[in-house]
Amino acid sequence: MIEQKSESHIFTILAAGALATLAFDSYGQAISPLIGMSKLAPVPLATQTIQVLTGFRSPELGYLLHVITGLIFYPLGWYLIARPIQQKLMPALPWIVTALAYGVVLWVFALYIMAHLVAGNPPFLGFTGITWVALIGHVLFAVVAAWIMETREAVMVR
C-alpha cells in the first residue's frame, strides 16, 4: 500500500528521475571524457535495441527510450522494488548502501541484459573503457535518484 501522499510521490519520482538522468548524462557524456575516460553513448544503444526488437531504426525513438527509462522506469525500480525489498529484509541497512547496490543492478541490466542479450553486443560491451564509465554512471544515477526520494520521504509503507 502507498501512503496518502501519492501525488507528491509521483512528482518526487519524476523529479528524481529527471535529476538522476541529468547526472548520468552529464557524467557519461561530458565529465568522463573531460577527465580522459570514455564517453557514454546511451542513445545509440537504445536505438540499436529498438532496431533489434522491431526492425525499425530510429535515433529519435532511441532518445525517447533513454529518457523514459531514466525518468520513469529506473526510479520506479527503486521505489517499488529495491527499497521495499531492503526495508523488509534488512531494515537497518542505510539507504545509500541499497542505492549503491541498485546502481550495480542497473548497470548489469543495461550492459548485460539489454546491450548483450537483447541488442547482441559483447557482454558488458567487452569490458572496455565504456564499461567502467557506465558502471559509475549507473551508480551515480541510483544514488541521486534514491537521495531525492529519501529526502522527500517518497517510500512505500511497510
Distances (CA, A) of 48 to 6, 52, 64, 157: 35, 6, 13, 38
pTM score, two decimals?
0.92
Q: What is the mean pLDDT of residues 10-16?
A: 94
pLDDT score recorded for residue 7: 75
pLDDT at 155 over 70: no
Say which DSSP state 127 is in: G
Rounded CA gap, 61 and 67, in Å? 10
Tell me which residue has cell 534488512.
90
Confidence band of 156 (pLDDT split at 50, 70, 90): low
User: What is the number of alpha carbons within 13 Å of residue 147 lying toward its C-beta?
Assistant: 12
Rounded CA gap, 123 and 110, in Å? 10
Residue type at 59 in one-letter notation: P
pLDDT score recorded for residue 8: 86
pLDDT per position as a tens digit, 95-116: 999 999 999 999 999 999 999 9
Say which DSSP state 58 is in: -
Ranking 3-7, 12-16, 36-40, 152-156 by mean pLDDT, the lowest is: 3-7
pLDDT score recorded for residue 2: 44
Rounded CA gap, 118 and 48, in Å? 9
pLDDT per position as a tens digit, 64-104: 999 999 999 999 999 999 999 999 999 999 999 999 999 99
pLDDT per position as a tens digit, 128-142: 999 999 999 999 999
